Amino acid sequence: MHDIVWPPWRDYLVVENRTETLNTVIQSIGDAGTFKDNYLRLANSVLSIVWPHLKSEVKVNEETSEELIMELLAISQVKIERDLS
């Protein structure tokens, strides 16, 4: 599903310069202050469930932080919800 709604998400795991951040994506749906924490909490809760399965399928830099992975999962969730609405 991540690949369908946001094809370049895997690239952000290895590239330093991202064109999309959670803030910029949430700004596109409005009320960023309210939603950012909710999406990060959701990403944190699914990190231990989803990431182990995805990790074997994606190229990740050794120094890729858990915070970046959580942010990418949160952005993906925003995009999924936006596409389904």
Tell whether pTM > 0.75.
Answer: no
Q: How far is CA 53 from the centre of its chain?
A: 15
Residues in the chain, total: 85
SS3 content of the chain, % helix, strand, coil (to 5): 70, 0, 30
Residue among 39, 11, 44 at smallest CA distance from 27: 39
Tens of pLDDT, residues 47-60:
888 788 877 787 77
Q: Where are the domains of the chain?
A: 2-84
Convert the pLDDT of each residue in 4-15 to its tens digit.
888 888 777 776
